[in-house]
Structure 1
Amino acid sequence: MTTTQPDGQSTGPVGARMRTGPLRAGQRVQLTDRKGKPSTITLQHGGEWHTHQGVLRHDTLIGRSEGIVVANEAGYEYQVLRPLLNDFVLSMPRGATVVYPKDSAQIVQVADVFPGARVVEAGVGSGALSLSLLRAVGDQGVLHSYERRADFAEIARGNVAAFFGEEHPGWAVHVGDMQEKVLEVEEPGSVDRVVLDMLAPWECLDAVKQIMAPGGVWVSYVATVTQLSRLAEAIRESEGFTEPEAHETMVRTWHLDGLAVRPDHRMIAHTGFLLAARRLADEETPLTLKKREKQSEVSAEDLAAWLPDDVQQPWDEQAFKKRPVTGKKARKAAAHAQKLADAARGAVDGELDDPDVGPAGEPGGTGAAVAEGDREEDQ
């Protein structure tokens, strides 16, 4: 499937024009200085990017190829490239904490998300995982995203539109509880893949079991060992899925300088666990895996201590010591994401003429630039 301009000319797959060709107003670019520090800005006609190193005029970049090295008015040089999906995710407006690129990549692989697949996702958060899933399903696929908070849904819509430069034809966001809303939207046995990023995914087990096609893959992203254990036991008890498998991914970069080759002092370690299982056909029960004879059985007392009931252990953000995202912060992020989305749509349509689309650059903007500054990383 290809998108078309108002004049009827084909523009290729969704988002392709934002990734190729000369740099255009409304597109985001990543400027990297000699210290390796990246900063992301959105190009505007007449825009300026102000830092303590000097002023860089956007017009010196618009119309040129990416991969160039440019100097600002003070002679300070920057390497200019379009941000990759990883860079975009780490610098985009956010309400909820984003799913890290290392985990998004694993989710797409473990869930075997293929072009044309019908995928259900919950919760959406800031849309980081949605971007990876939409790329994987392609223009012919469908992604239905479910989110409890309307303000988070708005942030996600803005970020997705800003990345692709247009609306994705197969994406829809539904606001409400997934376990209730999904049964109103999805036909029984019609969903190929389910990806859940929520505090209590076991609450959606019956709904997932109903909407998934036999052989479908269910992947859940959870942060703690207690969540992982409780979900695994719930899946086993349902007898509608294969034996669940779990893992986590850690990424360690390396320092490369001549013969001084060693691991970096910092790394992206634990962010979450992935648990995956496949849907069995109706009326089928999973095989009982043979255990080693010396392996001890789990006692009822152990389960009671490890899996307390909801009265003793509420499954909410407060219980997991997570700071709730305030409505003010979410609204601010949603407004920022929408401005970036409008600028990106203008870049694709070729109609961006207003230099005052967004807030001033950081640090020290003029009002003509839409700049996000340095990318954020959650530790």
Structure 2
Amino acid sequence: MTEKTGEATSKVSLPLVIFSGKTSYIINSFEGEFHTHKGVIDLSKLKDLNYGDEVETHLGFKFKVRPFSLSDFFKHFRKGPTPIMPKDIGAIIAFTGLRPDSAILDCGTGSGVLSAYLAYFCRDGFVVTVEKRKDFAKIARKNFELAGLKNIHQIVGDIFGLADSIKIKFDLIVLDMKDDDKFIPKARELLKNSGYLVVYNPYIDATRDAYFAMLNNNFQDIESFEIVKIDYEHKRAGTRPSTRVWHSGFLVVGRKID
């Protein structure tokens, strides 16, 4: 263990992150062994540490321990299909006023990034996530296991065929899938009164279709927008934008008010 002077310490809790240089891992168990390219770590050694302490591999390499942050999902999850970006996830949470006990339906799991963020944020609620592609669902399942989240319920199948069997009403439904505008009438049926529907789409024409589908299905407070995040690089010569990908997707947000 490392010694710290003049710094408040706290015992570690799960999940946590171990890191060495730019290499880091999410840890969600104090049992068994964890294999890294710098050797094997006995996970039982972690439970008696404080944040900022170090743990050694069997080869003598040291990893430092830090608290888990929600942003670690995006960094450490395996990516298959293009995930919704954190900036857009933040907008979904902010514009729909999610509560810690919210019930959420995520249609189009993809890599599972959005579901994991929402499930972690809504610790007293739950997320039902549906993905029709088995290869995407497999990636997401591994990511959920890594996250150690117990309030995600994963379904593999086509939401169009499954919707009539769902008996739950949701506070939020997110559509990130093909033919999203065609599912909007059913989404309205599955929402609680005052619940929100969010449609995420990378294409502006499809976004327009979703907007008018919400309008035609009597959604209220409809907004259609794009969140742009600009990164900057700072050098002695000056500062300039460094963002390579400016566009990720468009969001349409509407509310069911009967």
Give the TM-score range, shorter chain: 0.7 to 0.9
Aligned partners of 2:34 and 2:194: how far apart in 1? 52
Partner of 2:150: 167
Aligned to 1:333: none
Shift of 1:77: 7.9
Indicate the SS of the match to 1:85: coil
The structure in which a higher percent of residues are strand is: 2
Paired position in structure 2 for 1:242: 220
After superposition, what is the alpha-carbon deviation per residue over 1:11-33, rounded to whole angstroms, capped at 9, x for unaligned? xxxxxxxxx83378x965233x2
1:110 is the counterpart of 2:88: no
Change in Cα spacing, 1:99 to 1:30, as seen in structure 2 (3 Å) is farther
Contiguous gaps of at least 5 residues in structure 2 = 1-9
Work out whether 1:58 is the aligned partner of 2:31: no
Alignment partners' CA distance in 2, 1:131 and 1:57? 27
3-state secondary structure, aligned to 2:200:
strand
Instruction: Report how far residue 47 of structure 1 moved.
Output: 5.6
Instruction: Work out the CA distance in 2 between the residues paired with 1:214 and 1:180.
Output: 23
Q: Which residue of 2 aligns with 1:336?
A: none
Per-residue CA shift, 1:227-268, capped at 9, x if unaligned? 111111222233x112521122222334467x8773452355
Question: Judging changes above 3 Å, is the alpha-carbon distance between structure 1 residues 236 and 182 closer, same or farther for their aligned structure 2 residues?
Answer: same
Give yes or no for the alignment of 1:204 onto 2:200: no
Please provide the CA RMSD for this pair.
3.4
The structure with the larger Rg is: 1
**Which of 73, 85, 88 does residue 70 from structure 2 map onto?**
85
Alpha-carbon distance in 2 for matches of 1:157, 1:138: 18
Counterpart for residue 341 of structure 1: none
Unaligned runs of 5+ in 1: 1-19, 282-379
Cα deviation, residue 131, structure 1:
1.0
**Structure possessing the higher relative contact order (Cα contacts under 8 Å, 6 or more residues apart):** 1
Code of the residue aligned with 1:98 in structure 2: it is P
Question: Is 1:154 matched with 2:175?
Answer: no
Of 129, 143, 159, 1:178 maps to: 159
TM superposition shift of 1:122: 0.3
- Structure 1 residue 75: Cα displacement: 10
TM, length-normalised to structure 2: 0.78
Give 1:74 shift. 11
**Of 170, 190, 212, which residue of structure 2 is paired with 1:233?**
212
Residues 142-162 of structure 1, C-alpha deviations (whole Å, 9 max, x = no match):
322121123323332332232
Q: Give the residue type in structure 1 aligned to 2:257.
A: L
TM-score, normalised to structure 1, is 0.55
CA deviation digits over 1:88-130, x for unaligned, max 9?
3232223322222221121111222212222211011121100
Q: Which amino acid aligns with 1:244?
A: I
Structure 1 residues 147, 73: closer, same or farther in 2, change over 3 A? Answer: closer
